[in-house]
Amino acid sequence: MRLRDELLDGTYYPGRSICFVITRPKPREVWAAEFRDRIVHHLLYNRISPRFYASFIHDTCACIPGRGTLYAARRLESKIRSASENWSRPLWYMKCDLANFFVSIDKSVLWTQIAKRVVDPWWLWLAGVVLFHDPRQDFDLRGDPRLLERVPVHKRLASQPTHLGLPIGNLSSQFFANIYLDALDQHVKHQVRARHYVRYVDDFVLLHESPQWLNDALASIGAFLPARLGARLNPSKTILQPVARGVDFVGHVIKPWHTRTRRRTVRQAVARLRTMDADPVHQAANSYFGLLRQANSSHTDRAALAHAILRRGHVVNGSLTKTYRKANN
């Protein structure tokens, strides 16, 4: 009730955040808002997201109901099959990634994008409170402080000026990121005129039969991003090669007639099951089985997973899709 009253009378202000560092797959900061603030994030998201979703292209994924990693992988595979006529024609792909994406988002640009669609003064006020709140002003650092040193300086929110950066870890940040990159989607579709394009957060793939066309598209996107959004591509993660070699996207490797889970993901899953404490093995194993089953060619990977599970004393069904706790005698 206090939160409701604060929202209605305009005195609401976000509280203290929790900052911690994750190390897998690589070190990065995570900023978790207080529970009452997460309620506000959901309130705002539930109210204003439909008006943005109505204009998003069908090829943008992440933080959209029904458009997770599996949707993104299947949509890309469908586009590859269409463009290559079921793998019968040569096809090239270009995969790109934005440099230091979340910490380089320009809030002033994002605010302009939000204000164009959110016309109700109260909801616009709330969006501004959430967007411009700086969690660095009041936070609780959890875990080993030395882990912060493993996060590169250019990837730390604390090293950015106040007008740049969104905290990784909040629903609002994921949603705002999609609003921010809708401009990129529209540019790729209407100026670059890419027929086959899929984006998941800041990773995106374009398909074409001509590598030269893809290079021209890269030049157009590379000029658009800093001019319009203040963002830039990460040149070290730009890939241009034939689709037949396999397209690594959202954890899936798409190859002719089959998809598999990324090798690194499988290795890490097996290694974790071998070394984690006994109690969470059962739950983690079934989660990994669910992940691997998303690929249509996963028997070998599920067999490796099952071997690690059996060594931990659990039981695996014959189809290698689920594990059960071994009953005590």
pLDDT score of 326:
72
Q: Whole-angstrom Cα distance, residue 83 to residue 90?
A: 9
Specify the 3-state DSSP secondary structure of 266: helix
3-state SS record for 96-136: EEECCHHHHCEHHHHHHHHHHHCCCHHHHHHHHHHHHCCHH
* Beta carbons of 281 and 314 less than 8 angstroms apart: yes
Q: Whole-angstrom Cα distance, residue 218 to residue 328?
A: 60
Q: How many CB atoms lie within 10 A of CB 21?
A: 20
Ranges of residues in the chain with a pLDDT under 70 are: 327-329
Reported as a single tens digit per residue, the pLDDT across 266-312 is: 999 999 999 999 999 999 999 999 999 999 999 999 999 999 999 99
pLDDT score of 98:
97
pTM: 0.92
First to last CA, the chain: 52
* Beta carbons of 221 and 78 less than 8 angstroms apart: no
Q: How many residues does the chain have?
A: 329
| Chain Cα centroid distance, residue 328 | 41
pLDDT score of 170:
95
pLDDT score of 329:
42
Written as six digits, the tokens of 251 are 């954890």
Output the DSSP codes for 54-96.
Answer: TTS-TTEESSSTT-SHHHHHHHHHHHHHHHTTTTTS--EEEEE
